[in-house]
A and B are shown apart, each in its own frame.
Chain A
């Protein structure tokens, strides 16, 4: 079945550092891909998405490009802030599904001043 694998955390960075969180997927079709962010004690918020190969999703300085050839959707941000400290989840929406989301295990990011 479809699955999502993302790098383990925690990832600890200093403010203004470059952030990359790796995400790869396995899928039988052409899924849509998402990054969600979860701040402490809160629910998940959609950060960005891409629905087809080579699409780039972007929001709040974060970017991710849907790479079909490497089955990847890595999340990047050029200069992180303390407020970016959160858990980041990569997810896919199965092609033939009504819309079920399959999540990775999450990567905790800690940004220090």
Chain B
């Protein structure tokens, strides 16, 4: 059973461009979470999604950031018009379907975004 997969692992964007980060949860998992890790800091929750639904987006910046988890395909975290402050590691985690979402979260390797 493959773990949580994220791609790309590294992404370089210039200011004003768009960044798209992808996350494929573990097989049998339908709860997906995105976290952001700024340099020298811990992870901060951004958004929690189930298939086709955003459950909690209380950690998402109000502008430029969006997330989706379509019926088919990976979850996408999209950052429009990136700025240097968006440079961070973005981690996706997933937990099993058919359980309370309070089950253990399994993390992917992260996407390291660098904005020039």
Contact = CB atoms under 8 A, between A and B. Distances in A.
B42 A43 contact: no
A46 B104 contact: yes
B55 interface: yes
A106 B42 contact: yes
B105 A99 contact: yes
A44 B104 contact: no
25 contacts: A32-B102, A41-B109, A42-B109, A43-B107, A43-B108, A43-B110, A44-B43, A44-B91, A46-B106, A49-B104, A89-B43, A93-B102, A97-B102, A98-B55, A98-B102, A99-B31, A99-B95, A99-B103, A100-B45, A101-B33, A101-B43, A101-B45, A103-B43, A105-B41, A105-B42
A26 interface: no
B42 A100 contact: no
Interface residues of B, number: 28
Contacts, number: 60
The 6 tightest CB contacts between A and B, nearest first, are: A103-B42, A99-B102, A43-B107, A44-B107, A43-B109, A99-B101
Contacts of A42: 109-110
Interface residues of A, number: 22
A102 B106 CA distance: 15
A91 B13 CA distance: 31
Contacts of A36: 107
A98 B107 CA distance: 17
Interface in A40-70: 41-46, 49
B69 interface: no
Contacts of B104: 46, 49
Interface in A67-103: 89, 93, 97-103
Contacts of B35: 101, 103
A41 B33 CA distance: 20
Interface string A15-57: 0000000000000000010001000011111100100000000
Contact of B45 (A43, A45, A49, A102): A102
Contacts of B44: 103
A97 B45 CA distance: 12
